């Protein structure tokens, strides 16, 4: 994304120059403790001839180079590790992805329950911290690294947030929600849509929990609006390639206020669930009495007495008056799922989160076609869709045009550092909390249902705007956030992060080659930027490294720190291409 690089460079050059010397501060060169084996770390090996592909999109058949492997892992995981790079090169693209599809998910809820059992003992103050710790730990260490990345993308499409007052001290609820995203990440989008709709995290966040339509009440319309606008069909009718359908030169709305009102009636009568036999008594509906200790991590249940008895008209469908609530919900979700917009809508969102901000209509069309039919007559198969996103020629082959690539969001820059340099946690729990001030972003803490940034965001008064290009991540990129990020990595690289500097990287191998600036910069260029640093940038970093005399105190560690810092603030690293 050439124009993005130009815009970023104007923000970063002066800042990186000013901070370079300060980044040379101390830091231990002692190796980090070995990580504990991850659950399920024994991975299924491909049979003779390899795994059968889970979708119609063919994988590249060539063996990836180191740089190609690191680049692919930047798209498909939270960042390349040495072991994952080696595994991808050994297995090849198809078998690596198919192997990832078979790895069982790692549970966030199990992690939270280990800290705060259910029911939580009296006198224990529950905080959100274990949720964040589990997210960081899984991002860095979980063997199902592709599932983790897809789950993260889905969490930014089907948004709930710990920033909301109802959820800010609900780690179990949000961990359970992440678990349903990861459970369905390689399943079917129809099932995912139902799991999201009936989850108490979404019910609280978009106020569909305890939504009443009885006695002539006007239902809450919040979820009805957002499930259409953000989770399924979008605002305007789309062609299969994601371009808007036009009538008399103007886009056509997908829904109107009558559709919202009709659909809102569907989402009435859903309240807190209970374990065992459903017990939809009045007092349980809004969570007052009786309360099931598991209610925050199990699906909502239907309370017929609070459901709207009226007919429900939306998107050309009518659910007759008196239809049972679960059947009305099924009809509504089937209608949304089968709408022709869903394929191109979800295809575009996943491509933007994983591969490029401005996919061509042809790219969107190819992925949408796989969403519509996985080659076996199945609609919504997310395994096939993920393959289509990652194996499309526009994703596999680096492009150099002005629309190519995407700005790497702050969370992914941070996790790339942790994974590239084998960051480990002294406590084993990755005790990292909210990073809003440092990164302008913390997973599961978006400021609104519209995520941290909107998919159609265009930085105003920029060359990107002139070229009619979107750059979603630029919505949280400005002078303050750039400076905060640079200061953050300047501190984290040598000192680690988290409570008591719980999480630290291992630079032993880098310090071993730090006498040779060319070798040091080349290695960091590979593991962080898949050899994408320009010759000018490489020269600048090498010269800065050589300015630290090898005879100086802590010279090798300071050389390593500086080379990583300058790479992580370089436009070539910040823009994933």
183: in domain: no
- On the CB side of 559, how many CA atoms lie within 13 Å of its CA? 29
What's the pLDDT at 41? 56
478: in domain: yes
498: in domain: yes
DSSP character at residue 236: B
Crossing angle of helices 325-337 and 189-197, in 10° steps, is 140
What is the count of structural domains for the chain?
A: 1
Within 10 angstroms of residue 109's Cβ, the number of other Cβ atoms is: 21
Q: What is the pTM of this model?
A: 0.93
What's the pLDDT at 362? 97
Domain encompassing residue 515: 2-31+408-576
Cα separation, 480 vs 458, in Å, equals: 18
Crossing angle of helices 555-568 and 410-420, in 10° steps, is 150
Cα separation, 406 vs 73, in Å, equals: 15
Burial annotation 123-144 (CB, 10 A radius, 16+ → b, else e): eeeeebbbbbbbbbbbbbbbbb
Residue 271 phi, psi dihedral angles, 5° rounding: -135, -170
The C-alpha angle with vertex 233 and arms to 228 and 239, in degrees rounded to 5, equals 160
DSSP character at residue 230: T
Tens of pLDDT along the chain (577 residues) come to 444 444 445 444 434 333 333 333 333 332 232 333 344 457 899 999 999 999 999 999 999 999 999 999 999 999 999 999 999 999 999 999 999 999 999 999 999 999 999 999 999 999 999 999 999 999 999 999 999 999 999 999 999 999 999 999 999 999 999 999 999 999 999 999 999 999 999 999 999 999 999 999 999 999 999 999 999 999 999 999 999 999 999 999 999 999 999 999 999 999 999 999 999 999 999 987 888 999 999 999 999 999 999 999 999 999 999 999 999 999 999 999 999 999 999 999 999 999 999 999 999 999 999 999 999 999 999 999 999 999 999 999 987 788 899 999 999 999 999 999 999 999 999 999 999 999 999 999 999 999 999 999 999 999 999 999 999 999 999 999 999 999 999 999 999 999 999 999 999 999 999 999 999 999 999 999 999 999 999 999 999 999 999 998 899 999 999 999 999 999 999 999 9
520: in domain: yes
10: in domain: yes
Contacts of 385 (CB under 8 A, 6+ apart): 55, 189, 346, 347, 350, 367, 370, 371
561: in domain: yes
Query: Can you say whether the dihedral through the CA atoms of 134, 137, 142, 147 is positive or negative?
Result: positive
Cα separation, 217 vs 5, in Å, equals: 53
192: in domain: no
């Amino acid at each position: 994304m050439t124009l993005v690089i130009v815009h970023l460079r104007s923000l970063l050059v002066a800042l990186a120059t000013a901070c370079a010397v300060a980044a040379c501060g101390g830091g231990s060169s002692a190796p980090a403790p070995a990580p504990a084996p991850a659950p399920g770390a024994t991975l299924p090996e491909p049979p003779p001839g390899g795994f059968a592909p889970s979708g119609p999109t063919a994988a590249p058949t060539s063996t990836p180079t180191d740089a190609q492997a690191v680049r692919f892992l930047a798209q498909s995981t939270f960042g390349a590790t040495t072991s994952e790079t080696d595994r991808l090169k050994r297995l090849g693209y198809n078998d690596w992805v198919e192997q990832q599809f078979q790895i069982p998910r790692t549970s966030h809820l199990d992690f939270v329950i280990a800290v705060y059992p259910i029911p939580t003992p009296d006198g224990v103050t529950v905080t959100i911290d274990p949720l964040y710790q589990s997210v960081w730990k899984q991002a860095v260490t979980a063997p199902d690294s592709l599932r983790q990345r897809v789950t993260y993308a889905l969490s930014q499409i089907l948004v709930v947030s710990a920033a909301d007052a109802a959820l800010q001290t609900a780690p179990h609820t949000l961990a359970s929600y992440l678990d349903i995203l990861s459970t369905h990440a390689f399943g079917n989008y129809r099932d995912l849509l139902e799991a999201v709709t009936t989850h108490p995290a979404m019910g609280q966040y978009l106020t569909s929990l305890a939504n009443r339509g009885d006695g002539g009440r006007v239902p809450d319309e919040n979820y009805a609006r957002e499930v259409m606008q953000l989770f399924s069909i979008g605002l305007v009718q789309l062609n299969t390639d994601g371009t808007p359908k036009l009538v008399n030169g103007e886009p056509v709305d997908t829904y109107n206020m009558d559709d919202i009102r009709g659909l809102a009636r569907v989402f009435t009568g859903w309240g807190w669930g209970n374990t065992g036999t459903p017990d939809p008594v009045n007092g349980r509906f809004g969570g007052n009495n009786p309360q099931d200790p598991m209610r925050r991590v199990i699906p909502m249940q239907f309370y017929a007495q609070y459901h709207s008895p009226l007919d429900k008209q939306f998107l050309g469908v009518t659910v007759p008056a008196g239809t049972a609530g679960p059947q009305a919900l099924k009809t509504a979700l089937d209608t949304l799922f089968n709408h022709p917009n869903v394929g191109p809508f979800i295809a575009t969102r996943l491509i933007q989160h994983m591969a490029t901000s401005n996919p061509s209509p042809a790219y969107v069309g190819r992925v949408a076609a796989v969403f519509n039919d996985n080659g076996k007559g199945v609609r919504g198969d997310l395994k096939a869709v993920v393959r289509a996103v990652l194996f499309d020629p526009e994703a596999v082959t680096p492009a150099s045009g002005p629309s190519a690539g995407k700005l790497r969001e702050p969370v992914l820059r941070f996790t790339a550092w942790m994974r590239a340099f084998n960051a480990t946690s002294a406590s084993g729990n990755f005790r990292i909390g909210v990073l809003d001030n440092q990164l302008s972003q913390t997973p599961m803490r978006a400021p609104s249902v519209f995520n941290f940034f909107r998919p159609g965001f265009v930085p105003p008064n920029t060359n990107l705007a002139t070229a009619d290009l979107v750059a979603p991540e630029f919505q949280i990129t400005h002078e303050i956030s750039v400076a905060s990020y640079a200061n953050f990595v300047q501190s984290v690289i040598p000192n680690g992060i988290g409570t008591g500097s719980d999480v630290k990287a291992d630079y032993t191998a880098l310090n071993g080659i730090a006498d040779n600036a060319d070798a040091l910069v080349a290695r960091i260029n590979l593991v962080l930027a898949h050899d994408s640093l320009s010759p000018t940038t490489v020269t600048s970093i090498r010269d800065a490294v050589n300015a630290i005399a090898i005879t100086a105190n802590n010279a090798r560690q300071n050389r390593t720190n500086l080379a990583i810092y300058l790479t992580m603030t370089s436009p070539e690293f910040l823009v994933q291409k």
